[in-house]
Amino acid sequence: MSIPLPKLKYVLITPAHNEENTIEQTIQSVLSQTYLPLKWIIVSDGSTDLTDNIILEYSKKYSWISYLRMPEHKDRHFAAKVHAFNAAYETVENTGFDIIGNLDADATFDNEYFEFLMRKFMEDHRLGVAGTSFIENGQELYNYNYTNIEHVTGIIQLFRRECFKEIGGYIPVKAGGIDWIAVTTARMKGWKTRTFLEKKYIHHRKMGTAGSGILRSSFNYGMKDYFLGGHPLWQIFRSVYQMKRKPYFIAGFLLFSGYIWAGIKRMKRPVSPELLRFHRHEQMLRLKRLYLNLISLKRE
């Protein structure tokens, strides 16, 4: 006996800037879904390669896929992604969707991926943001014994409509952290957020390295940890943990250096004092749990 498909309707938005090498794989993954979106808006965010041609080809074949073009811009930054997302959101705001998702143009997944997530939203009406773990370069990027399972990475990030409206959508921040601000604000407002480990998608470009190398991105992540309000004690733990991973020592050192550099520069923080306090409280609770787990393991 077959199980009925979820009743929730979802829409997807994909901002894409020069993604000719990966976007067709992403489109094929969505086309293969057992539960298709109501609408999918793919935004060419000023692309100068063949991204537009690929989007147009599929939008002509499938009425539920729409193409949107944003003006060209020289620099690549996260605020541009938000502006592209918001432009697409305006075109679907009045449609009857229940779930809205950001889908990056460099991810692929199995044919039951979105059906799986829709079921999760149906099972828990307080679930505001959902996603899954992912694989990068053939391995799972995060160890969820240490990584916060309540954070949902922005590569594929789905929101319940009411949650998305309550948090004010994505906030344009040039230096990044837009997905983190959204999902953390959702938790602060009482919504559940969750990365589900039963499913995985493949991310086809190393996260955070668009326009920069791995070492530069480690330093940038450290700066981002500072301006998003990360607690200094948590940053020490995070940096030491990263030193154990390739490239050994140097990535963790640069992560901590970026944090210190941002502090010296007194980099302006785009988060409210309320969100900063909430974030640091969560970090200290996690650090306490990790410490207690370590003590209990030593006693065994």
Domains and CATH numbers, the chain: 10-203 (3.90.550.10), 214-299 (no CATH)
- CA separation for the pair 15, 157 (Å, rounded): 13
φ and ψ of 158, to 5 deg = -110, 135
Residue of 212, 216, 222 whose CA lies nearest to 265: 222
Give me the tens of pLDDT residue by residue for the chain, a chain 300 residues long.
Answer: 456 767 899 999 999 999 999 999 999 999 999 999 999 999 999 999 999 999 999 999 999 999 999 988 766 668 899 999 999 999 999 999 999 999 999 999 999 999 999 999 999 999 999 999 999 988 887 777 667 899 999 999 999 999 999 999 999 998 889 999 999 999 999 999 999 999 999 999 876 555 557 788 899 999 999 999 999 999 999 999 888 877 788 989 999 999 999 999 999 999 999 999 999 999 999 999 888 887 877 676
Question: What is residue 95's DSSP assignment?
Answer: S
Tokens 């200094």 found at: 232
Side-chain-side CA neighbours of 19 within 13 Å: the count stands at: 27
Q: Which helix (H) or strand (E) holds 182?
A: helix 178-188
What is the model's pTM?
Answer: 0.90
Question: What is residue 37's DSSP assignment?
Answer: -
- Dump strand ranges (E) for the chain: 10-16, 39-45, 65-70, 99-103, 107-108, 127-136, 139-140, 156-160, 192-203
**Predicted local distance difference test score (pLDDT) of residue 250:** 92
**Predicted local distance difference test score (pLDDT) of residue 241:** 87
- CA separation for the pair 137, 203 (Å, rounded): 8
> What are the CA-CA distances from residue 292 to residues 86, 194, 289, 296, 298 (Å)?
43, 23, 5, 6, 10
